[in-house]
Amino acid sequence: MLACPSIHHGRLYPSQPFQFFPSKPCNRFLFPSSSCHFTSRKCKFSPLSFLFPVKNGHRFSIRASAEPEVSDSSSVSDIPQYASQTFSVKIPVGDRHILVETGHIGRQASGSVTITDGETIVYTSVCIDDDPSEPSDFFPLSVNYQERFSAAGRTSGGFFKREGKVKDHEVLICRLIDRPLRPTMLKGFYYETQILSWVLSYDGLHSPDSLAVTAAGIAVALSELPISKAVAGVRIGLVGDKYIVNPTTEEMENSELDLLLAGTDSAILMIEGYSNFLSEEKLLKAVEVGQDAVRAICTEVEALVKKCGKPKMFDAIKLPPPELYQHVEEIAGAELVKALQIEKKIPRRKALSSLEEKVLNILTDKGIVTKDSTPKGNAETVADILEDEDEDEEVIVDGEVDEGDVHIKPTSRKPHPFFAEVDVKLVFKEVTSKFLRRRIVEGGKRSDGRAPNEIRPVNSRCGLLPRAHGSALFTRGETQSLAVVTLGDKQMAQRVDNLIDVDEFKRFYLQYSFPPSCVGEVGRIGAPSRREIGHGMLAERSLEPILPSEADFPYTIRVESTITESNGSSSMASVCGGCLALQDAGVPIKCSIAGIAMGMVLDTKEFGGDGTPLILSDITGSEDASGDMDFKVAGNEDGITAFQMDIKVGGITLPIMKEALLQARDGRLHILGEMMKCSPPPAKSLSKYAPLIHVMKVKPEKINLIIGSGGKKVKSIIEECGIEAIDTEDDGTVKITAKDLSGLERSKAIISNLTMVPTVGDIYRNCEIKSITPYGAFVEIAPGREGLCHISELSSGWLAKADDAFKVGDRLDVKLIEKNDKGQLRLSHRALLPDSGPDNQNVKQDAGESAEQSTEQPKDKTSTPKVTASRKRSSEDESVLQSKKFVKKFVNPAQDKPSANKDKTKKNSKTEVGSVSSKDESSLVGEA
C-alpha cells in the first residue's frame, strides 16, 4: 500500500513512514486507517493532477513541506516510538562499558540490537513466523551465529571466499545462545522463532561470544516473544586471585578459568567453562561475580524494554485443556506407576509407548470408556512387556498395583470429550514426568532402584582394539563409550580458520559421535549434529589439562568417542573412556579424571517432599528429560577441569549449585576408584603400530640446509631413509616421524651432519671427493657439507694437477685446519700423512702458485717451520693413513726456483675463491 506521495525535484517521497502495529497472533500487523492517505478519497491531490494545469489556466507547483503531512485523525505522538526512533544505552560491565543500540539497523525484524565493546560489534536480530507451527514438547527456536571474516579485515584462507559451512566454534556459540533463552520461553507458544547473530567488527581484544549471548537476550526482550525475564551473559576470568568480568583475550592468556555464565536478574540459567583443576570454592566465587554482573545488565535492559519494547504476544499462547490432565491421570495413572518401575531403558520405553497409544485411542477415537472396553490396535500392555523381560531383570515395585487387572477402570460411564492428539501427547509426557518426580521424591527410589546419590555400576576395559594406538570401553549402567586414540605428527593436527589472520593448529582434539543405534533406533547418518559437536568439545576441554606439553610428548593426539549405548551422560562417559584410552596409548598424562552428570528436582513440596531441592547423582536419560537440571562436572580429587549446566526451570541459586558441586565431587571420586579396577588395565606404553617421533634442535639458520632448494633436500632424506615426515620450525626445532627405528636413526644422522658445527682440528675419515678443480679438490666431510682441500694439502709431495693423483669418487681422510668467519672450510689430507721434511713447505707454496692461487708471503720467515713442526706433532698424535690412490712425483729442484722468484712478485695478490690466512696459505670454500 502506498502512502500519498509528496513531490520534490521529480522524485516521490512518502508523506509518512510505514508503521507496524502488533495485535492478535492470527493477524499481528494491522494498518491504521488514519496513518496513510489513500488517493481514492483522502489524498490531497488526484493521482495525475500534478501533470496538468488547473482550470484557470495557471500552472501550479508543489513544494515539499518541512514536516511530513498527516491527517487530522492522527498525530506524530500516536505513532509508537519504537518504530522510528533510535535508542542507545551504555551499560557498565566490569571495568568498562558496552554500548547497546536498537532502532537503527534491522527495523523490520521483531527485535534487533547491536552491542559494541571496544571495536568489537555484534548485531543480532529476532524474527517470528506469521503462522504457528504444530504444537510440540519443545519451543521451535533456531539460532545461527556467524563470524564474518570482513570483521577483521580479511577473507577466508580456503578456496571459497564466501562464508559457508558453520564452523565448530560457531556451533558452540549457537548453543551458548540457545540454552539460556529456552527456559525463559512460556509454554504454549508455537510460533517458529529465529535468532541470527553476526560479528560485524572484531578488534582481536574483546571476545564476541559473551556479547552475542547478551545481544540475543536483549533482542528477544525487545521483541514480541512472550518471555518471562530478560537474559544476559558474561565471561569470567581468574588471573591470580582477581576475578575479571569480560576479560580481554590478553588477560585470558594468563587466566586459570574460562567461565561463561548467563542468567536473569534473579537466577542462573546456564554456565559452561573450563579450568585448570579449580576448586569448588573458587568456582562458586566466580559464579557469584558473574551473577552480579548479569544482574546489573538485566536491570538496564528492563529499563530499555519499557522505553522501546514491543507488546508481547501473550494471546498466542495455547495450552492443552486443563481437564485433560485429570483424564490422563485417571486412565493411565496406575499403569504409569508400574511402567516407571521397569529397570531397563528399552522395556520401559516400550511400556510407556504402549500406554501412550492406549490413552490416545481412548481420548481421541472412542470417547467412551466402559469396563469391557478394549483399546484399539495391537499395542502391548505393561504386563505383556513385563512378562517378556528376562527373568534376572529386576522390577522394583513401589505402591499398590493390581497386576491381575490391566484394563482401565473408569470411575463413571460419562463419555470423555474428544481431544487433539498433540494435546494428549503433551499432557501424557507431563503426567509421566510428574509421576517420575513423585516416585523419586516420595518413594526415595529412582527408575532403576538407586538412591538419589548412588552411582550406576561401572565397568571398563582397555586394549580392546589391537591395531589401534590406544582403546578403551567404558560402561556405566546403560551408557557406554568406545574411545580410540590415534597418535601422529603435525600433519595430523586440526587446522582452525579464525578471524585472526594466524594459522592455528590443534595438537589435541576429541570427536564425539552419537549413532542412532546407541538408543536402539533407526536414523540418518550424516554430518555431526550440534549436540555431537558440543558434547565432543566438553569432553575435549575436560581432558586437555591432563595432557603433557608438546616438548615432553611431541605427538598430535586424536580421540574418537563413539557412543555404543546411551542412557544419560554420554559426554561424561567419553571423558572417562578417553582418559583410559590415553593411558592405553602410552600418553604420559598428569593424572586420571572422571566426569559425572547431576540432576535435580527443584520443587519437592509438590511431589511429597519438604520443599528442599533434591540433587540426583549420575542421572539417566529420563531423569534428564523430566528433571530440572543437567549439571556435568569433570575433574579429580584436586579440582575441576570442565563443567556445563543447563536449567529447565526459571533458574537456580548459589546454595543449590554448591550442594550439587559437592555431591558431584563425591560421585567422580567413586568413579575414579572404579576406573582403577579396569581389566585389562591400560598398557601405558606406545603401541608398536604408533609412529616414532624424534625431536632435535638445530641453529635456526641451519634450517635451510635441511630443507634445501625447493624442498629437494628434505624430500631426498625422506625417500632415502623411508621415513614419514620431517617438520621444521623457525626456532630450529626439527621433528622426524618414522615407522621404524632404523629409518629414524639414519635420518637423524643425516640431519646432524647437515647442521653440525665443524671445529678446527676435527678429523674426518673416508670422505668422498665430490669435484676436482685445478687448485684442489672439494671433499664431502658430511652429507651436504663440503670443504676445499687445496692442491698443496693433498699430498706430502708436489702435484702439478690434482687429478694426477685423485679423481671424483675417491675417498680419503682429511683434517679441518681452518674455518673463517663466513663458515668456509679448509681441509688437509697432507696433515695426516708422514712429513718428508721442512723442504715440503716450499713445495706447498710453489704448488699453490701453479694452481693460480695468489697467496701472501709470510712476513716472519720463522713462522713456516713452526707451522710445519706443529703439523708434524699433530700428525704424530693421530694414526697415519696413506691415500688410497697416491701417485709419487719427485720434484726437480730446478723447477722450484722460478716458483720462488714468482712468489716474491705477488705478495699482496688475493685468491680467487676467498680470503686466505697468512698461516695456511690456501683457499676456502663456503658451507653447502
Nearest to 715 by CA among 724, 739, 555: 724
Q: What is the pLDDT of residue 859?
A: 38
Q: What sections of 361-420 are H helices per DSSP?
A: 382-388
**Cβ 234 vs Cβ 297: under 8 Å:** yes
On whether the pTM is more than 0.75, the answer is no
Grid coordinates representing 475 are: 560402561
Parallel/antiparallel/unpaired status of strands 508-513 and 556-565: parallel
- Looking at residue 383, what is its pLDDT? 52
44: left (phi over 0), alpha (psi -120 to 50) or beta: alpha
Give residue 51's pLDDT.
Answer: 33
Tell me whether the omega of the peptide bond preceding residue 680 falls within 30 degrees of 0, making it cis: yes
Instruction: Give CA angle at 173 (167, 175), nearest 5°.
Output: 105
Beta strands at 692-697 and 733-738: parallel, antiparallel or unpaired: antiparallel
Query: What 3-state DSSP class applies to 524?
Result: coil
Helix (H, G, I), strand (E, B) or coil at 246: coil
Angle at which helices 168-181 and 530-543 pack, to 10 degrees?
Answer: 100
Quick count: other Cβ atoms within 10 Å of Cβ 686?
Answer: 17
Alpha carbons 712 and 42: distance in angstroms, whole number: 85
The CA distance from 193 to 148, in Å, is 23
Q: How far apart are CA 92 and CA 94, in angstroms?
A: 6
CB 600 within 8 A of CB 621: no
Q: State the DSSP H helix or E strand holding residue 144, giving kind and residue range, or none if neither.
A: strand 141-147
- From 593, 605, 607, select the one nearest 664 (Cα to Cα): 593
pLDDT at 11: 37
Q: Is 235 exposed, middle or buried (0-12, 13-18, 19+ CB in 10 A)?
A: buried
Query: What's the burial of 194, exposed, middle or buried (CB within 10 Å: 0-12/13-18/19+)?
Result: middle
Alpha carbon 294 to chain centroid, angstroms: 26
Separation between Cα atoms, residue 135 and residue 191, nearest integer Å: 9
Task: Please state the separation of Cα 355 from the chain's center in Å.
Answer: 43
CB-CB neighbours of 83 under 10 Å: 15
Give Cβ neighbours of residue 519 (< 8 Å, ≥ 6 apart): 566
Model pLDDT, residue 647:
87
**Residues lower than pLDDT 70 in the chain:** 1-84, 157-158, 365-417, 501-503, 784, 835-928
Q: What is the pLDDT of residue 445?
A: 86
Q: What is the DSSP letter of 374?
A: -
